[in-house]
Amino acid sequence: MFLYLIVLLSVISVPLALSFEKNLRLYKRWKFLLPAIFISMLFFIIWDIIFTHLGYWVFNPIYNSGINLFKLPLEEYFFFISIPYACAFTFYAIKFHFPNYNTGINGTRIISALLIIIAIAIALSNRQHVYTFVNFIVMAMVLLVSSFAAKQVLKYYLAIFPIIIIPFVIVSSILTGTGIEQEVYKFKPEVITGIRILTIPIEDMFYAFSLILMVLVFTHIFENKLKRKAKA
């Protein structure tokens, strides 16, 4: 049963179709967005491969194709394309239709600083939970870089992320066992805190935060690079 692939295709199908909508026209951003997705994918895939080899999480073969590369099912690679693309579409759509929906420069500085401090504190207090520790360290680093490299992205992202996370929760809850007999992927209990929303480990919410933000920041950097070249 190709449940994992079916879920991912469902996630990306509507955003991909609406990318050609006459006002948003997200397809015009593909030359920046797609490289950003693949660069971010490289980082998270390496993380994924290491943790899979260490046995920190496993993938259920009954829900995927059974074709593996470095112990990861092919569907897992597609995860890092479909989920970021769908979330980026949501981000740009909300930003386009509600340009004033953001945290403002001062609000962004305060919220970012607080989130970095909180992320580091959570990481240090959960050193025994490897996924929790790494997750929040990565989140703090991505936020710190974003604060310097992409303030304009961050001020929208901090406001829009609570909306983006809603469909992510729905998808992730299915993948972690809600409504199905077994999980599509399963965590080793020792590597997480055990706190869950539905069936989703709380850490996955912040994993999504870092993954999506990284994609948007790289997209912003690539766009700005082209603009600087055009002015030169």
Q: Compute the half-sphere exposure of residue 33: CA atoms within 13 Å on the CB side of its CA.
A: 21
Quote the pLDDT of residue 229. 73
Q: How high does pLDDT run on average in the chain? A: 94
Q: What is the DSSP string of 138-178?
A: HHHHHHHHHHHH-HHHHHHHHHHHHHHHHHHHHHHHHHTTT
Quote the pLDDT of residue 227. 73
Please state, in angstroms and rounded to a whole number, the distance separating the CA atoms of residues 82 and 8.
6
Quick: pLDDT tens for 177-228.
888 888 999 999 999 999 999 899 999 999 999 999 999 999 999 998 877 7
Its sign, for the CA torsion 209, 215, 216, 218, is positive
Alpha-carbon distance values, 81 to 26, 105, 150, 168 (Å): 15, 30, 22, 14
Quote the pLDDT of residue 115. 98
Specify the 3-state DSSP secondary structure of 83. helix
Provide the number of structural domains found in the chain: 1
Domain span at residue 188?
Answer: 3-231
The answer, yes or no, to whether residue 112 has pLDDT greater than 70, is: yes
Our measurement of the distance from residue 13's CA atom to the centroid of its chain's CA atoms, rounded to an integer in Å, reads 17
Residue 75: other Cβ atoms inside 10 A:
24
Quote the pLDDT of residue 226. 75
Confidence of residue 232 (pLDDT cuts 50, 70, 90): low
